[in-house]
């Protein structure tokens, strides 16, 4: 245990543990993606490379109506979620950041609650809400979108507020001194400064929505409202072919590209440099 | 003053949305839990708290007291989650420590690799293991060649060769660790990264050995990060039903989440499901409040900087 004697030296066991951990966390998923390209029905025996489970086979993602509609529905929900949650969250972040006095503490706690509530509890609550109170709307796409927005808003608030803190009030005050009215201070000073955070939070919400499972499943209504996550849950154990792996791989690529773009935009325009800031951006996705 | 009202007005839509779909939704759970059932076992919520019927709540609590099935499942869940967070700590601390202190020029790349699992669909990560741990899967083969399966069998953690997905408690716990440990490593990394190196240098200059500097400086300073990280992963584990369903699906390994899921979404007795949800929320409230306080404190410190 030489690292105990000299923690500033090159500890041996730490890089080994870290390396094994990284392999353990990445390799299984890589194998699952690999089998999406298997030229056979097996998900355990490699039979050569092919793209049949994406395009050609009757049971492929392109040709199986169940798989294709799950992919479309997942993307539809993600777009709705971004369109609704981002404006709502940006306004809430601005309001909470500047509003001092009665009710601001309670509003803050209300915003943080969805982040710490286990998703199952939220799922049950929203299910009973839509069955017992908003039974006119019923379950399905609208309910699913509302459910996703409800937890996504808080993530937008956390990202945007982080940026608001670093911007400070100087630019606004300068604009006020130069005679800008409140509305143009908001639209011409604050919002452009917040743009990187807004774009980053849009990316995060898009990815969160695609990967969401519990709330989406609880508020679903039949096969038409299946998402990729739900299909993974219901067919993973009995899946007949690697088409399921292909479907999962497609959403994996979409999510990772979205997050990478969000990160690059944030870094390029907000000048986030340090590793810790990168971690904060990741830390934002507190739970699923 | 314009500004006071401007900011409140901006916050309004978000506050209304969260009140409606979070607070009112939770109120609906209470009204169902303290409501009644019709002859078809459908819930009949009582909207006025003065009318609340404690019958179903008492029935469930009675079952707990008499050591019935709810208690069994609760104890099992606490055991699984307890073991899973201890394993997560043992795996996660060295990794976060290395990334924060010793990664050097690899730090950026390492962080990307640590963040990566966050953005891979949880169910896909489970699908990956289902493929690997299939009786004919690559993982099962590797575990067989390395004799790890024999070790697990001799420890009574596995009931037979290649039976990893046949209702093994050990598989459920390991799957939980696999699923949630990335959400522990990253916040812990951030906590360790924030520790001022000079504290440790001071301890060394004052004559403490490297180990006691770690034990008496680094470890206590990282304790809030450890606790926040463990709470962060314990909360979703308590509400997890899909991991158990996917890697075991046996009633012998079912968790609180599975019970709630069966009563509510799958649906026979939503009233009982609502009661169990309220019980779970009350049990977890302590953890949730702790985490809220920790994040708000961190937020205030962030603003001061």
**Residue predicted with more confidence, B195 or B76:** B76
C-alpha distances out from residue B263 to A100, B257, B285, B293, Å: 43, 10, 22, 33
Contact B80, B243 (CB under 8 A): no
In order of start, what are the domains of chain A with their CATH numbers?
65-283 (1.10.3720.10)
Mean pLDDT of A195-217: 94
Inter-chain touch B14–A153, beta carbons under 8 Å: yes
Q: How far apart are CA B123 and CA A183, in angstroms?
A: 45
Structure confidence at residue A5 (pLDDT): 56
Task: For residue B43, give the DSSP letter.
Answer: E
**Residue predicted with more confidence, A90 or A11:** A90
Query: Any idea which residue has 């900087």 for tokens?
Result: B305
**Residue predicted with more confidence, B87 or A263:** B87
- What is the tens place of the pLDDT at every residue in B213-239? 888 888 888 898 899 899 999 999 999
Inter-chain touch A283–B98, beta carbons under 8 Å: no
Min CA distance, B119 vs chain A (Å)?
A: 7
- Does residue B167 sit at the A interface (CB-CB below 8 Å)? no
Closest chain B residue to the Cα of A89, Cα to Cα: B14
**B304 pLDDT exceeds 60?**
no
Chain mean pLDDT for chain B: 89
**Residue predicted with more confidence, A56 or A90:** A90
Mean pLDDT of B36-43: 85
3-state SS, residue B168: coil
- What is the tens place of the pLDDT at every residue in A164-195? 888 878 888 888 888 888 778 888 888 888 99
**Chain A residues closer than 8 Å to B124 by CB:** 29, 32, 232, 248, 251-252
Q: Among A20-29, B39-48, B62-71, which range has the highest average pLDDT?
A: A20-29
Q: Which of B118, B266, B246, B251 is nearest to A232 (CA)?
A: B246
Closest chain B residue to the Cα of A288, Cα to Cα: B236
- What is the tens place of the pLDDT at every residue in B8-36? 888 999 999 999 999 999 999 999 999 98
pLDDT band at B298 (very low <50, low <70, confident <90, very high): low
The residues near A272 (Cβ < 8 Å, ≥ 6 apart) are: A266, A278, A281
Angle, CA of B30, B34 and B40, to the nearest 5° = 110
**Chain B residues closer than 8 Å to A35 by CB:** 131
Contact A193, A166 (CB under 8 A): no
Chain mean pLDDT for chain A: 86
The interface pTM score, or ipTM, of the predicted complex is 0.90
Mean pLDDT of A208-215: 95
- Does residue B209 sit at the A interface (CB-CB below 8 Å)? yes
Chain B from 245 to 284: CB within 8 A of any A CB? 245-246, 249, 257, 260-261, 264-265, 270, 273-274, 277, 280-281, 284
C-alpha distances out from residue A203 to A45, A143, A213, A260, B130, Å: 36, 22, 18, 9, 29
Q: How far apart are CA A85 and CA A217, in angstroms?
A: 19
**How many A×B Cβ pairs under 8 Å?**
308
Inter-chain touch B190–A276, beta carbons under 8 Å: yes
Report the range of poorest mean pLDDT among A118-127, A263-272, B59-68, B125-134: A263-272
The residues near A135 (Cβ < 8 Å, ≥ 6 apart) are: none
Contact B69, B76 (CB under 8 A): no
Closest chain B residue to the Cα of A29, Cα to Cα: B128
- What is the tens place of the pLDDT at every residue in B114-148? 999 999 999 999 999 998 998 888 999 999 999 99
Q: How far apart are CA B281 and CA A110, in angstroms?
A: 16
Q: How far apart are CA A24 and CA A16, in angstroms?
A: 12
Q: What tokens appear for A197 in the block?
A: 């955070």
Q: What tokens appear for B4 in the block?
A: 């006071």
At B36, phi and psi to the nearest 5? -130, 180
Domain spans, chain B: 68-263
pLDDT band at A266 (very low <50, low <70, confident <90, very high): confident
**B72 pLDDT exceeds 90?**
yes
pLDDT band at A123 (very low <50, low <70, confident <90, very high): very high
Structure confidence at residue A103 (pLDDT): 79
Structure confidence at residue A253 (pLDDT): 96
Nearest 10 degrees: Cα torsion A120, B251, B85, B111: -70
- Mutual orientation of helices A191-211 and A65-98 as an angle, nearest 10°? 140
- Mutual orientation of helices B270-304 and B55-65 as an angle, nearest 10°? 80
Question: Which of B32, B35, B128 to probe by mutation at the A interface, max A CB count within 10 Å?
Answer: B128
Q: What tokens appear for B32 in the block?
A: 């169902």
**B163 pLDDT exceeds 80?**
yes
Long-range contacts of A260-264 (CB under 8 A, 24+ apart): A261/A203, A262/A199, A262/A200, A262/A201, A262/A202, A262/A203, A262/A204, A262/A207, A263/A200, A263/A203
**A223 pLDDT exceeds 90?**
no
Structure confidence at residue A4 (pLDDT): 55
Q: Which CATH architecture has domain B68-263?
A: Orthogonal Bundle (1.10)
C-alpha distances out from residue A280 to A207, A238, A259, B34, B186, Å: 17, 38, 14, 41, 9
Alpha helices, DSSP H, located in chain A = 2-5, 13-36, 65-98, 104-116, 119-132, 141-167, 170-177, 182-185, 191-211, 214-218, 228-235, 243-270, 275-283
Inter-chain touch B121–A21, beta carbons under 8 Å: no
Q: Where are the beta strands (DSSP E) in chain B?
A: 36-37, 43-44
- What is the tens place of the pLDDT at every residue in B245-282? 999 989 999 999 999 999 999 877 899 999 999 999 99
Inter-chain touch B265–A288, beta carbons under 8 Å: no
Q: Which of B197, B200, B220 is nearest to B210 (CA)?
A: B200
Chain B from 89 to 118: CB within 8 A of any A CB? 91, 94-95, 97-99, 101-102, 107-108, 110-111, 113-118
**Residue B37 forms beta bridges with which residues?**
B43
C-alpha distances out from residue A261 to A201, A202, A258, Å: 11, 11, 5
Residues in chain B: 305
Nearest 10 degrees: Cα torsion A246, A247, A253, A254: 160
Task: Let me know if B227 is exposed, middle or buried by CB neighbors in 10 A (0-12, 13-18, 19+).
Answer: middle
Query: Any idea which residue has 């440099």 for tokens?
Result: A273
Q: Which of A165, A164, A197 is nearest to B305 (CA)?
A: A165
Cα distance from N-terminal residue to C-terminal residue, chain B = 28
**Chain A residues closer than 8 Å to B291 by CB:** 116
**B48 pLDDT exceeds 80?**
yes
Q: What tokens appear for A162 in the block?
A: 């982080």
Structure confidence at residue A284 (pLDDT): 46
Structure confidence at residue A164 (pLDDT): 87
**B78 pLDDT exceeds 90?**
yes
């Amino acid at each position: 245990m030489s690292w105990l004697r000299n923690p500033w030296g090159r500890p041996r066991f730490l890089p080994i543990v870290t390396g094994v951990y990284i392999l353990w966390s990445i390799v299984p998923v890589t194998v699952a993606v690999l089998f999406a390209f298997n030229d056979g029905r097996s998900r355990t025996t490699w039979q050569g490379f092919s793209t049949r489970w994406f395009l050609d086979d009757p049971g492929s993602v392109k040709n199986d109506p169940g798989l294709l509609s799950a992919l479309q529905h997942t993307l539809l929900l993600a777009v709705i979620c971004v369109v609704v949650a981002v404006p709502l969250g940006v306004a809430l972040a601005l309001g909470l950041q500047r509003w001092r006095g009665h009710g601001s503490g309670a509003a803050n706690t209300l915003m943080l609650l969805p982040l710490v509530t286990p998703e199952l509890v939220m799922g049950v609550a929203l299910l009973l809400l839509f069955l017992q109170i908003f039974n006119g709307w019923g379950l399905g796409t609208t309910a699913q979108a509302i459910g996703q927005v409800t937890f996504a808003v808080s993530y937008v608030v956390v990202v945007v507020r982080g940026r608001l803190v670093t911007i400070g009030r100087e630019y606004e005050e300068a604009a006020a001194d130069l005679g800008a009215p409140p509305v143009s201070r908001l639209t011409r000073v604050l919002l452009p400064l917040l743009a990187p955070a807004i774009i980053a939070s849009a990316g995060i919400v898009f990815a969160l929505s695609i990967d969401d499972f519990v709330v989406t499943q609880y508020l679903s209504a039949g096969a038409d409202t299946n998402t990729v996550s739900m299909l993974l849950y219901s067919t993973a154990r009995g899946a007949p072919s690697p088409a399921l792996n292909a479907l999962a791989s497609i959403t994996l690529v979409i999510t990772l590209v979205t997050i990478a773009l969000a990160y690059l935009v944030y870094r390029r325009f907000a000048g986030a440099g340090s590793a810790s800031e990168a971690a904060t951006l990741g830390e934002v996705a507190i739970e699923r | 003053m314009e500004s006071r009202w401007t900011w409140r007005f901006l916050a309004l839509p978000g506050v209304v949305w969260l009140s409606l779909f979070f607070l009112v939704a939770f109120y609906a759970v209470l009204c169902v839990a303290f409501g009644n059932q019709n002859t078809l076992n459908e819930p009949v919520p009582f909207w006025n708290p003065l009318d609340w019927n404690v019958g179903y709540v008492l029935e469930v609590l009675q079952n707990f007291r008499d050591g019935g099935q709810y208690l069994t499942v609760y104890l099992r869940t606490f055991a699984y989650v307890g073991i899973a967070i201890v394993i997560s700590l043992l795996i996660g601390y060295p990794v976060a420590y290395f990334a924060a202190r010793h990664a050097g020029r690899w730090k950026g790349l390492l962080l990307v690799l640590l963040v990566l699992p966050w953005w891979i669909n949880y169910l896909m990560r489970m699908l990956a293991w289902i493929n690997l741990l299939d009786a004919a899967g690559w993982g099962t083969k590797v575990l067989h060649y390395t004799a790890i399966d024999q070790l697990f069998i001799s420890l009574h953690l596995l009931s037979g060769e290649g039976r990893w997905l046949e209702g093994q408690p050990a598989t459920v716990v390991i799957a939980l660790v696999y699923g949630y440990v990335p959400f522990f490593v990253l916040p812990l990394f951030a906590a360790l990264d924030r520790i001022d190196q000079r504290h440790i240098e001071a301890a060394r200059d004052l004559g403490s050995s490297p180990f006691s500097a770690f034990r008496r400086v680094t470890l206590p300073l990282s304790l809030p990060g450890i606790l926040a990280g463990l709470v962060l992963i314990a909360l979703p584990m308590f509400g997890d039903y899909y991991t158990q369903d996917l890697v075991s699906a046996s009633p012998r390994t079912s968790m609180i989440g599975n019970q709630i899921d069966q009563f509510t979404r799958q649906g026979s007795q939503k009233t009982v499901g609502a009661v169990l949800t309220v019980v779970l929320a009350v049990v977890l409230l302590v953890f949730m409040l702790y985490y809220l306080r920790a994040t708000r404190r961190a937020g205030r410190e962030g603003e001061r900087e």
